[in-house]
Structure 1
């Protein structure tokens, strides 16, 4: 007769780590070690929700694998602080390695730069700031921890919340915890992807004169790209460097067939003074005479540093970090989503953005601590 299972034989749920909210460097290591490649954010979102939902000073809402936590102190202004939970695919760089000691420690591994250092800072501050009655900041706060930032725009968790419950993201100013090496980066460039298509006539490669090679025609597309001179445009005092590049090329169906179609995929990164429509018109002008199909587009965001809340933020951060004056964000970030809502937004977080997505991604522990301290001083007005 089969014996019944004893308690020790029964399956048990995996034990979740106790997150080190008191130590933002250790917290960064912990959440990096929870693998959360885009599409696999559920475990980390569960951990974040588990930390925030019991806190009495926060109202917590979950939309898929995005967690939004809001204070309701009745302040005149509201600040939104947002960080994404996902990373690009792991490349043998998890679990995190800790290299060195003391203030010179470095965390090496996927997500340490983009952007779980910033996310860890926000999570620690969300649990701490305003938790003690009578010590609430001058602004109401919204903390957003969202999924699917590293993939197609239509999957983005922040965008999904904007569609489903835009009131959850309403505010007067927003901070994205993207890596900026502890400096303030204003706005972001827009991004546009197009397919530039050439057409030919298929033929047997042994009798090529009976067809027309579409790949050969792509040489003119590449020639125009090689000769293109990008512009540097100053927008609201910050300089954005535009870029136009081929990022992919496909064509041909077999090794003995003259191809009748070739596609050169081109990415245009444009200054936020241009609209998406302006950017599309410019790219069509560059490739006049070719078939151009837009496959993806997202507007940029102006710096947004001219409001009172933004100026107060910059002054506080510069005083706390000793960083240089704000510079332009040369990539695209979700500040653009806030900009579209009329909410000025900036990028600020630990980590060198040039190391984002690289196999040797790593961050200096002291930089995480510095950004945490600077944000805490700004939010509370107290010394960290």
Structure 2
């Protein structure tokens, strides 16, 4: 039974973490309109050289051209992500480049070593100011004193360091998900937020328009007059297809890793079979008494099968609870959450029943084949 518990717990942990990772990735990737009211256009380039050109992509002129089609209601550049749970910014100072997690906030209440806190007025006024963690200040400027009131360029915008906060999150590293720089919320959104993807155009059509006909008009106009018509072909693009493909790949990866972990369940099943054989051997007297009282072979077989299923199902339930708890514990250190779902419940119950039936069948059959005369000998 212990082997069943460990095996089920391992599989459930892997599946639960895999599903949580999948939900997180797809949530980050899904910026498309799931209602079907928005269509997308990208460029199928003639060659790699055209694709990587600095001016490649759909220009503002192309965007305006699409907007002039009568059936078009709204045109925008596609944003590939709805959310950014851990926004990061690259800081540069001479030869130093630091990529760190930042926090856009309306105001701060940090332990200050120098300078001041951020206030709501900074956000409302779109002030280009920032509060740095002391570790960052030291890394970029040598000391907190040197960093205070310094101005630096960030994505073409000049920001001023107005405060240095006490470090509470450790050193700068890819494993550190705590913010090391704090920006006024509206300032961050205005100047440093996620950029539009100029490789994809999102188009909303008027409700009464035939979307297929209108889309053909837009594509025809862009392929005849678009600024990138010589570099490639403007085409209908479906981001949801890529998202579905990504989800399928993540499912396959989770299934493969789970299947490897499930090998331990086969070994546990062999242990259950041995346990049932021992039980049959030790209960020969009981089998004889039941046969003498009129029990037939089928009822004897059914009894031992039921006992095997109860044994493995009990292990499966305990293993499920243990696996979910382990997954929850692991998710505390990961950038995504874990939640129980019907699939993991079905995996636990189904696997337990299959093992119970599969590995108890032979011992149950052996018990059913015992003849009363042989038992009395």
Q: TM-score range, shorter-chain basis?
A: under 0.3
* TM-score calculated relative to the size of structure 1: 0.21
Q: Which has the higher contact order (CA 8 A, sep 6+)?
A: 2
Between Structure 1 and Structure 2, the one with more helix by share is 2
TM-score normalized with structure 2 length: 0.22
Identify the structure with the greater strand proportion.
1
